[in-house]
Amino acid sequence: MPFVIALLAPVFWGTTYALVSLYLHDMSPYWVAVWRALPAGILMLMLRPRLPTLVWSKLGLLAFCNIGAFFTLLFIGAYRLPVAVAGTLGATLPLIFLILAWVIDKKRPGMKWLLLGLMGLGGVILLLNPSADLDPIGVLCMLSATTLIAFSSRWMQKWDVGDFLVLTAWQLFLGGLMLIPLAWFMAGPPQLPSLTVVPSLIWLVIANTAIAYWAWLWSMRNLGPEIMGMVALVNPVVAVSLGVIIVGETLDMRQWAGIGVILLSLLLMKLPQNLRLNPFKKVQP
């Protein structure tokens, strides 16, 4: 049962891109971000009505990076890129962690990690090869969204954030409020969704956001980050599978090779902790 709960988050998150491509493509990505964040935040606060322990300034920064800016960039990328490409770019978080630790903390990766990082970057280059004719704004948005998550994850590792479920609920609520003026400015006043997209929005709010975040936090606490790091690879696999099987996308051989190389590098990076005791070493001055 614990592993079934653990699988809910990456499986549900992996459906985001196909959902946008199939059912929500006529809606503004800015308002879709609002409809995803704000109702989910309200729902989670109703289930967990507590004030956050984190100071409001830090909570506001996390809400902006993790929800406001992240959801905006995520949906712009999802609207502009093929499902398989968007899903794979969104899974490059470990590669970005590696780069940030090297650039900011001056922690040079060991040879194994350096090779895995270069392998992952090589996969990204194959995926984004010029012949693929991908939308550059969509690519930039997906990579920027993933980088924001990397920065905010680093902050949460250093800050005493308290109850993660309460923290997530407040981030979704505050981030949703932040998104309203942006959506209004970029896309005009909100319009009532048509009945045909209501089931998709309900899935986005309840399954894709509220349940998925709860499942992820519960699993991180009960199974640990090493196991969840492996489970997280289900996210791009689901995204790529839905893109090809349901959406009907086609990719060239170089893009398939790029997806394979990225997933393999992430799989090797997420080996159990006892097999990678020292991924970084301090750069000598």
Structural domains of the chain, count: 1
E strands, 4-73, in order:
none
Residue 228 has pLDDT above 80, yes or no: no
The predicted-structure confidence for 23-74, as pLDDT tens digits, reads as follows: 998 899 999 999 999 999 999 999 889 999 999 999 999 999 999 999 999 9
Angle between helices 29-47 and 70-80 (to 10 degrees): 140
| pLDDT averaged over every residue in the chain | 84
The predicted-structure confidence for 132-166, as pLDDT tens digits, reads as follows: 678 899 999 999 998 998 888 888 878 888 888 89
The pLDDT of residue 285: 44
What SS3 state is found at 264?
Answer: helix
| CA–CA dist 102, 98 (Å, integer) | 6
The pLDDT of residue 128: 75
Residue 123 has pLDDT above 50, yes or no: yes
Handedness of CA 65, 138, 72, 246 (dihedral sign): negative
| CA–CA dist 42, 37 (Å, integer) | 9
Bridge-partner residues for 26, per DSSP? none
pLDDT: which is higher, 153 or 78: 78
Residue 92 has pLDDT above 70, yes or no: yes
The pLDDT of residue 76: 94
- Residue 37 near residue 67, CB atoms below 8 Å: yes
| CA–CA dist 179, 29 (Å, integer) | 11
Full-model pTM: 0.82
The predicted-structure confidence for 178-225, as pLDDT tens digits, reads as follows: 999 999 999 999 877 888 899 999 999 999 999 998 888 888 778 776
Burial label for 272, CB within 10 Å (0-12, 13-18, 19+), is: exposed
pLDDT: which is higher, 279 or 93: 93
The pLDDT of residue 273: 46
Q: Tell me the residue range of the domain where 235 lies.
A: 2-282
The pLDDT of residue 283: 46
| CA–CA dist 246, 21 (Å, integer) | 10
The pLDDT of residue 70: 92
Mean pLDDT of 251-257: 83
| CA–CA dist 48, 240 (Å, integer) | 34
Of the chain, the percentage scoring pLDDT greater than 70 comes to: 91
Mean pLDDT of 241-259: 83
